[in-house]
Structure 1
Amino acid sequence: MDYPDTRRGSVVEEHFGVQVADTYRWLENDLRRDTDVADWARAQNETARDYLDALPGREVFRERLTALFDHEKLTTPTKRGERYFFTRNAGLEHQPVLMMREGANGAERVLMDPNRWSADGTSALAEWAPSRDGSRVAYASQKDGADWRTIRVLDVETGKVLDDEVNWARFTAIAWNGDGTGFFYSRNLEPSNDSGFQSPVLGHSVYFHALGTEQSEDRLIHAPKTDVPLLHTADTTPDGRYLVIYSTALSGGAAVSVVDLEDPALTVRPLVEEFGTFWTLAGNVGPRLYFVTQDGAERGRIVSTDLSKPEPEFTEVVPEHPEMITRLASVVGDRLLVTAMRDARTEVLRYRLDGTPDGTVDLPGIGSTGTFQGRPGDDEAFFVFTSHDAPTSIYRYNVAENAVTPWAEPRVDIDLETIVVEQHFVSSKDGTQVPLFVVRRRDVTGPAPTVLYGYGGFGIPLVPFFSPAAMAWVEQGGVYATAALRGGGEYGKAWHDAGKGQNKQNVFDDFIAAAEFLRREGIATPDGLAIEGESNGGLLVAAVVNQRPDLFAAALPGVAVTDMLRFDRFTGGQLWIQEFGDPGAEEDFRNLLSYSPLHTIRSGEDYPAILVTTADTDDRVVPAHSFKYAAALQAAEIGPRPHLLRVETQAGHGQGKPTDKMIDEVADKWAFAAHWTGLDVTRPE
């Protein structure tokens, strides 16, 4: 296949006695400032478009994805005063709309419609938070999918946006103080260049903005000096009394500090100073704060501390559970609601505040829940439930009666009774048992073209969730599989640690074992297996293709980390060192080099078809990773199948992407995978 010409550079660097060529270093330049990079990316995209538009199944997938995405999507309501705040996408709107309901059964009205912010839908509503009395909402806007935010404030009663404007917020939460006179947020200093596209995430700090003042007057709350790159995010307790600050390096661990907001000095008081385990606030009753943590319990436990004491200590409330206790724990009413995970499926446990077990919550089925949104002393809470064969729905929970009732259940354009979900356990290279979910049509009983999805990193569990994209593949007679790999959080800290740093190869071994299982057990056809993953999952896909190109017909690495020797040079890459290792340390360097997708492409091997996807405004995993990787693939002698680069415009790492862009991207990926796995794509009757 003919690809655009790519200039080869002569950069060669020595690392610990190893000569490493960086032939395409010039593609790291910001395409907004370097016309050569912009022209190259445009030519690559045009080549990909010519190929993808000619695929026979693309239009069928686009039509069906449009129908499958066209259902109501709501977020869990947040109750403040007697008002309920949530977002709703009616179906195919570019962006969700911020809504408010007056009272449990009152009228609803639109508070903020980001679909009016831009004609192409590339401006999005990001983080938002109502004040404790529900009179105002602070909300963040996002442009072109970038991580930068601008925060404004809406008066709920009048619908007017106040004059307050906070810029350069990034990786932030929004937390109101108790009396609603201002809010806490996280930001970096204004970048030195125009766009801030490649600005590093250094100097991340927590500030307080008082309503009616200029941002230049915002009060710095927390900016500790440390050699470890950290993100600092803040939350207030439900009663508005305390500010809880998390300082994290993104690899599962966080230090915790607290501020008594009745203290005019706003003194920051350290509670946890180590970064080795996660801590998440579940709620408080007066000065007693409840946390879920892995400290002293790899599968999680609940502890509490009394801030009225001069030297507060942590007391165990709920001990380590046989299943994994997730970070999703809440104090609602007079109960602790704790989400546990058994083999990547969730259950919700009830406890009294002294830790006495009090039964379970009867969930709508086998699947996944989010945090129960409720407050101490209030018997009402809301939660989200989803599964591979259950669209994301919202349920109301009555704590006193331990009763669950539907609040919003969308209808989707597919007969879910025809869908079967199975769970298998796969033996990895070292004997570790890895959960694998398989989704198929009930009448598909033999081998079929299959897409295998994975992530395996940062302690993030891959749990069952409803995906219109997966349904579009399964509807055509394909199989969709997801593997809960090491490096995730499905079984606690040890499971995460077994797939990070020097243990990263375990993640690839788990994924390869899942692929071999699908072929060996006659689930996938012998030459019909495609693999998909994004971000850290894109790294997974690219690395595994290099290690076992014979296993796969097609590969779909999205917004992938592919240059493991230079990932720490861009935006938030320094935060990933605790997950991947430090390229500047010899032991880590040698491990990173052993699997770095850019550096381990095997010329002379017959590779699968590969569609690399990225976006021009991705400031999380900058597109240079995908650019350099695609250029290296196209230059290598790896067989006749296509190795294409698709570059989305005015989009970032994923959050805030308009619905039509999501549909078009999935249609491209599925048409590409279908062509190379042999899936026969037809319009449903």
Structure 2
Amino acid sequence: MSKRQPLLWSVPVCCLLALACDRGQTQNPDETDAVTEGEDDDLNSPTTTSRWAYPEARVSPQVDDLHGVGVADPYRWLEDLDSEETRAWVEAENAVTFSYLETIEERAAIQAKLEGLWNFERYGTPWQEGGRFFFTKNDGLQNQAVYYWADKLDAEPKVLLDPNALSEDGTTAVAGLKVSDNGKLVAYALSDAGSDWKRWKVRDIATGKDRSDLLEWSKFTRVSWTPDNKGFFYGAYDPPTEGDEFEQVNKNQKLYYHKLGAKQSADKLIYADPEHPERQFGGQVSEDGKYLIIDVSVGTDVRNMLYFAKLGRGGALSGAVVKLIDQLEATYSFIGNVGSEFYFFTNLDAPRGRVVKIDVDAYAKTLASSKAEAPAPKLVEVIPQDQHTLQSVSFTGGRLFARYMVDAKNEVRVHGLDGKQERVIELPEPIATVYGFGGKQDAKQTFYGLMSFTRPYTIYSYDIATGQSEPWREPTLAFDASRYETNQVFYESKDGTKVPMFLVHKKGLQPTGDAPTYLYAYGGFNISLTPRFSVPDLVWLEMGGIYAQPNLRGGGEYGEAWHEAGTKLDKQNVFDDFIGAAEYLIDSGWTNSEKLAIGGRSNGGLLVGAAMTQRPELFGAVLGGVGVMDMLRFHLFTIGWAWVSDYGSADDAEQFQALLDYSPYHNLVDGTEYPATLIYTADHDDRVVPSHSFKFAARLQAAHQGEDPVMIRIETKAGHGAGKPTAKQIEEWADLWGFLVDQLDMTLPEGFPED
């Protein structure tokens, strides 16, 4: 293995110019070599001839001075997404990739299986507004789910909104929706080609006709109606520079009130903070319509602040905004209120979460009379911290429904407003994920949905008084779940930390050391990977594979301490946990390196990128989706700055070194044999801009020694993943599973896909 790492010059800044002129000579050639003019051919050609003719990617002499270290960025030009050179490179890469994928004989059978299993009727959890019921339904292969409404739950539903009629190819999706309190109007957001940008419209529910309202340049926001149903609060940004809509940094969000029928330019500014451009504001009207709660967040930091104001008429505030929580010290989430007593979820002094209440009117009076520094509000504990992690709480039917994670599996407990536990809901399946339990404070009935790795999202109605559950919609599909089993194991990471992992496979399967295994994880931003139903994962099981899902540090499975243990200077723990999962699967006899594939998306794309650069010999194949691959520049595009709370920033000297140590793009080494790799991204991804994947793929193709393919698949008219049409999902997964079948040398079971 070559020691040459051309993306880093570990030399004093004063030497950079001299090194460039010396055409690659360094002070310590045994450890590093420089990227300079004249070495383009060397960098763009693998040491061993490959049977794959990758497109030529120009190598530039770009070098950045970061804290006294020169860091080369030879593919910086791929950040210009609209340049002719980048577009030509994208076309050429797709030509190579799709030419190869089309040769995989099993791909057609895999696609047929995906279509067959995906084609089942499925519903979303219903909710109620103004005496009307609302829910989503997909007949099977519709590109987008359709929204319906009905005056009674058992009545024939009417179409509220059909996204499939908005574009011929299904790439326009509903990205947000909120029904007015009287159930007569709906504000809904549309997203084109997977972009995070939303445009809000308003529809009359009875007539199905849109009003004139149109709000643009909104993202990362919800809307909340005023009790008079004449307008709503929403967040928006100033219009971006024309031509830079998908790359420009998103800061200075503002909270507005929109009055129905008015032009967006006339909307009332409710709150902004130009001194803190990174702050984001979400407005929520309390159920009684008397208060506006303003959630103040900073990017993806799990900590937030909370302000509130009393509401007058027409979206006007009847008093000043009160800063209830004005420090980034913990997570706070508004649950509901009874008069001036507000209930909150928080992890303040409780890393696994608890419920507290605050008398906000009493606090406002104390604050007004205080002549010294603003006092902290008095928190009254309602539900104390438990040994298990409290994931969320809803206030419905006079009860608090508390959803816990017990080793990454859900348990739901019902409490009174005094905090006393009334019951634990008996769920139909023990290893499952649960959503729902929403509704008004006077509701008699609520709904929840449950899913597992092999059970599709099944919806139940729940009688709040009796605690009885009844199935409301139970999907059926051409899949026999009884043939499979799910188990949870625990393994030790590098530092001895015990990490849980779910294993799903054919019932009775015994370790033989050669089972094709797909290891998928995330590990970041306090996001928990609980059991989830996925048609592609079912197909993988039907193909004879094992599905493995570990719960890495960086997630929220065991509370804030578990999350923090996988952030910033401790981010390497996440990669160690993932590598530990791979080693467990091999050491336990389930699989071997040649049969082990790893996958992840977004932060999970970073995960697999770091794992394959640190332990390339450990994996047989890699699927890296929309990943953050350049850890030194992620904060310079769109919403990337918001991830500093988890990753840290290259602007900080200590964090820079930690980021550089694992940044996938910067840790590819010439002459290394990397696993077969398929990077996949989308040209309209304005969350993780595709230049991350572009640069990583170009560098990987230059560094890789070996005959296994290292390719990139670039979807057009698509974004980070939300709202992706069913047809595009099926095509994408047929390619991904086809790639693994070919590279892991899998043999599909007899009778597949019909069986």
TM-score bracket, shorter-length normalisation: over 0.9
Does the CA contact (< 8 Å) of 2:307 and 2:323 recur in 1?
yes
Percent identity of equivalent pairs: 41
Corresponding position of 2:118: 69
1:27 aligns with 2:102: no
95-104 or 209-218: bigger deviation: 95-104
1:255 is aligned to 305
Given candidates 492, 497, 503, the residue that maps to 2:564 is 497
d(CA) in 2 for partners of 1:250, 1:61: 37
Match of 1:41 among 66, 90, 104: 90
Shift of 1:57: 1.8
Pairing partner for 2:626 from 535, 538, 559: 559
Equivalence map 1:134-283=2 (5 Å): 134-194=183-243, 196-227=245-276, 229-248=278-297, 249-262=299-312, 264-265=316-317, 267-283=320-336
- Residue 579 (str. 1) matches residue 646 (str. 2): yes
Q: Does 1:537 align with 2:604?
A: yes
CA–CA separation in structure 2 for the residues paired with 1:432 and 1:234: 40
- Cα distance in 2 for residues equivalent to 1:269 and 1:618: 37
Aligned CA RMSD, in angstroms, stands at 1.4
Corresponding position: 1:302 with 2:367:
no
Matched AA of 1:343: D
Matched ranges for 1:306-455 at <5 A: 306-309=359-362, 310-311=365-366, 313-326=378-391, 328-366=392-430, 367-447=432-512, 448-455=515-522
Give, in whole Å, the separation in 1 of the partners of 2:656 and 2:534: 37
- Match runs of 1:596-635 below 5 Å: 596-635=663-702
Determine if the alignment matches structure 1 residue 85 to structure 2 residue 134: yes
Q: Deviations over 1:94-118 (max 9, x none)?
A: 1111111212322211011110111
Kept after mapping to 2: 8 A contact 1:175/1:234: yes
**Cα distance, 1:225 vs. partner?**
3.7
- Whether the 8 Å contact between 1:252 and 1:276 is mirrored in structure 2 is no
Is residue 84–residue 102 contact of structure 1 (8 Å, CA) maintained in 2?
yes
Q: Which runs of 4+ in 1 moved over 4 A?
A: none
Q: CA deviation at 1:675?
A: 1.7
Q: Distance in 2 between matches of 1:322 and 1:666?
A: 39
Judge conservation of contact 1:251–1:459 (CA < 8 Å) in 2.
no
List alignment gaps of at least 5 residues for structure 1. Answer: none
Who is 2:614 aligned against?
A: 547
- Select which of 468, 488, 511 maps to 2:535: 468
Q: Is the Cα contact below 8 Å between 2:605 and 2:624 reproduced in 1? A: yes
Question: What does 1:114-125 correspond to in 2, within 5 Å?
Answer: 114-125=163-174
For 1:350 and 1:373, locate their aligned partners in 2 and report how far apart those are by CA, in whole Å: 13
Q: Which has the higher strand share?
A: 1
Q: CA deviation at 1:237?
A: 2.1
Distance 1:259 1:42 in 2: 53
Distance 1:519 1:353 in 2: 49
The 1-side partners of 2:483 and 2:336 are apart by: 41
SS of corresponding position for 1:612: strand
Distance in 2, matches of 1:200 and 1:72, equals 40
For residues 233-269 of structure 1, what are the alpha-carbon distances to aligned partners after superposition, in whole Å with 9 as ceiling and x for unaligned?
2222223322222222213111111222237435322
1:520 deviates by 0.8
Q: Which moved more, 1:476-485 or 1:231-240?
A: 231-240
CA distance in 1 between partners of 2:227 and 2:340 (Å) = 15
Paired AA for residue 301 in structure 2: S
Secondary structure (helix, strand or coil) at the match of 1:184 reads: strand
What CA deviation, in whole Å up to 9, does each residue of 1:340-363 have, x standing for no partner? 111000100111101112121122
- Provide the C-alpha distance between the structure 1 equivalents of 2:87 and 2:671, rounded to a whole number of angstroms: 31
Cα 1:105–1:15 change in 2 (3 A) is same
Instruction: Give the Cα–Cα distance (whole angstroms) in 1 for the partners of residues 685 and 714 of structure 2.
Output: 10
The answer on whether the counterparts of 1:456 and 1:536 sit within 8 Å (CA) in structure 2 is yes
Alpha-carbon distance in 1 for matches of 2:434, 2:74: 46
Q: CA deviation at 1:228?
A: 6.6
Q: Contact (CA 8 Å) 1:450, 1:677: kept in 2 or not?
A: no
Which runs of 5 or more residues in structure 2 are unaligned?
1-51, 367-376
The alpha-carbon deviation at position 316 of structure 1 amounts to: 0.8
The count of aligned residue pairs is: 682
Distance 1:392 1:475 in 2: 19
CA distance in 1, matches of 2:221, 2:545: 39
Of 723, 727, 750 in structure 2, the residue corresponding to residue 656 of structure 1 is: 723
Contact 2:506-2:541 at 8 Å conserved across structures: yes
Match of 2:343 among 290, 296, 315: 290
Residues 438-493 of structure 1: CA deviation (Å, up to 9, x unaligned): 11111532341000001000001111011111100011110011110000000000
Task: Identify the range of structure 1 (521-530 vs 660-669) with the bigger mean alpha-carbon deviation.
Answer: 521-530
In the other structure, the counterpart of 1:523 is 590
For the Cα contact (< 8 Å) 2:593–2:620, is it kept in 1? no
SS where residue 664 of structure 2 aligns? coil
User: TM-score, normalization: structure 1?
Assistant: 0.98
Is the 1:284–1:376 contact (alpha carbons within 8 Å) kept by the matching residues of 2? no
Matched, 1:16 2:67: yes
Matched residue type, 1:255: M
Q: Secondary structure at the match of 2:595?
A: strand
Which residue number corresponds to residue 733 of structure 2? 666
SS at 1:165's partner residue?
Answer: strand
User: How far, CA to CA, are the matches of 2:386 and 2:331 in structure 1?
Assistant: 16
Tell me the distance in 1 between the aligned counterparts of 2:507 and 2:670: 41
SS of aligned partner of 1:638 = coil
Provide the rounded CA distance (Å) in 2 between the counterparts of 1:247 and 1:41. 39
| Helix, strand or coil at the partner of 1:221 | strand
Question: More displaced, 442-451 or 38-47?
Answer: 442-451
Q: Which secondary structure does the structure 1 equivalent of 2:600 belong to?
A: strand
